[in-house]
Amino acid sequence: MTDQSTAPDQGTNGTAGEGFLSIRGLTKRYAGFTAVDNFDLEVPKGELVAFLGPSGCGKTTSLRMIAGLVPATAGRIVVGGQDLTTVETHRRDMGLVFQSYALFPHMSIARNVAFGLEMRKVPKDEIARRVREAIALVHLTGKEEHKPAQLSGGQQQRVALARALVIRPSILLLDEPLSNLDAKLRDEMRNEIRDIQKSLGITAIFVTHDQGEALTMCDKVVVMNEGRLEQVGTPVDLYERPKTAFVASFVGRTNRLKAVAKDGAAEFAGQRVPAPAGLSGPVQVMIRPHRIALSPSTGSEGVTGTIARAIFSGDILQYDVDVGGQIVSVELATRGGETVLAPGTQVSLSWRPQDIFVYGAAA
């Protein structure tokens, strides 16, 4: 699937109509197994793009093919108009940040950051200057002589980022770099990585299985499933206009409800909602929990149900409502002092037509 919404890159490093990073038909096959199948993508210069999907969907394999760490079975990888498909990893001018940080434990922070420049035989005075700049960029000035073991997980991740950036790569590749951090540190590092990427204007690919990271950090998100691209678009596109049932369920929380489509509409609990043309028979109706309004009174409008469970989680009050034998989750923002409705309470649910998605049952 090629992202048709990508604006043509008009810079000097790309051809009009193509991205700075252009991936065409990228495929990786193993014996009896296809890890990545016909991957197409155009990334303009300066964008941060997430590869998002569950474990085993092919996102890390795709990243490693871009980096040259895994040879492609088929397809092309073009950066700035140059075909890098068969070019060795160390000649691709890419910075890599791994999940494990991969720091040298016996080296100081400064030496870890300088390592790539030393391998490139950059003059010592320039190495010293660029290392100082990179360490300042990730807010670790004063810790140059510390060893990795003396730093927190978030600080170690900053060192790994500085080491990748100090070589001034054309593309930055990040493979689940935040997965080893606790929730608070993840939030902080999301913002730091995004701020640094934007300030440098560097093109970056960010692999993650965390939808929150993808939606909050990235210009564009590539959703992958079983080696294939399901959808490519902005975070808003994917969340508000998911093209498949997989995207609707993976990007954000959603209710998946069984219904039957006929004559251009799907019927659920006595209500008819528009269905895509040509869709008939069993279908899935999806609606996000926070887009459902709940009223403790029942009436002619809306769908009537019975509260099966109430879950208070601080900022969210979740009700699981039994509607005709199917459970519909409803999420309400708490404001303090509200009364929690007890299980068994009859309620009415309603929603806007535009908040309903209808897909084939086997989608």
**Model confidence over 12-64: pLDDT tens digits?**
333 334 689 999 999 999 998 999 999 999 999 999 999 999 999 999 999 99
Do 236 and 272 lie in one domain? The reply is no
Do 149 and 216 share a domain, yes or no? Answer: yes
H helices, E strands: number in the chain:
8, 20
Is the Cβ–Cβ distance between 63 and 175 less than 8 Å?
Answer: yes
Domain annotation covers residue 2: no
Tell me which of 201, 218, 245 is where a domain ends.
Answer: 245
Measured between alpha carbons, how far is 347 from 191 in angstroms, rounded to an integer?
41
Flag whether 346 is in a domain. Answer: yes
Q: How many residues does the chain have?
A: 363
In the sheet that 357-360 helps form, which strands lie side by side, from edge to edge?
271-274, 265-268, 255-262, 281-287, 357-360
Q: Of 222, 245, 268, which residue is a domain's last?
A: 245
Question: Do 232 and 269 fall into the same domain?
Answer: no
| Residues 40 and 188 grouped into a single domain | yes
Residue 189 shares a structural domain with residue 293: no
The enclosing domain of 100 has a CATH number of 3.40.50.300
30 exposure class (CB count in 10 Å sphere: 0-12, 13-18, 19+)? exposed
Rounded Cα–Cα distance for residues 163 and 159 (Å)? 6
Sign of the dihedral through C-alpha 179, 181, 183, 184? negative
Residues 130 and 230 in one domain: yes
Identify the bridge partners of residue 315 per DSSP, sorted by sequence position: none
Is 352 a domain residue? yes
Could you give phi then psi for residue 326, rounded to 5 degrees? -110, 145
Cβ atoms 196, 23 nearer than 8 A: no
**Residue ranges, the chain, pLDDT below 50:** 1-17, 363
In three-state secondary structure terms, 176 is coil
Burial of 334-362, coded b for 16+ CB within 10 Å and e otherwise, reads eeeeeeebeeeeebbbebeeeebbbbbee
Domain edge (last residue) among 245, 279, 306: 245
> Are the beta carbons of 187 and 179 closer than 8 angstroms?
no
Tell me which amino acid residue 158 is.
R
258 and 226 within one domain: no
In the numeric block, the tokens 């434990």 are attached to 105
- 124 and 262 belong to one structural domain: no
In angstroms, the CA 22 to CA 190 distance is 25
Write out pLDDT tens, residues 130-149: 999 999 999 999 999 999 99
Residues 6+ apart with CB under 8 A from 39: 23, 25, 26, 27, 58, 62, 75, 228, 229
Cα–Cα distance measured from residue 20 to residue 335, given in angstroms and rounded to the nearest whole number = 47
Residue 236 lies in a domain: yes
* Total domain count, the chain: 2
Given this model, what pLDDT does residue 11 score?
A: 33
Least Cα distance to 269 among 198, 318, 327, 320 occurs for: 327
Q: Alpha-carbon Rg of the chain, whole angstroms?
A: 24
Contact 273, 353 (CB under 8 A): yes
One domain for residues 35 and 153 = yes
Does any domain span residue 182? yes
Residues 224, 123 share a domain: yes
Whether 104 and 80 share a structural domain: yes
Domain membership of residue 338 as a residue range: 253-360
**Residue 189 has what pLDDT?**
87
Q: What SS3 state is found at 101?
A: coil
272 lies in the same domain as 228: no
Residue 12 lies in a domain: no
Any domain includes 322: yes
For residue 296, give the CATH number of its domain. Answer: 2.40.50.140
Residue at 10 is within a domain: no
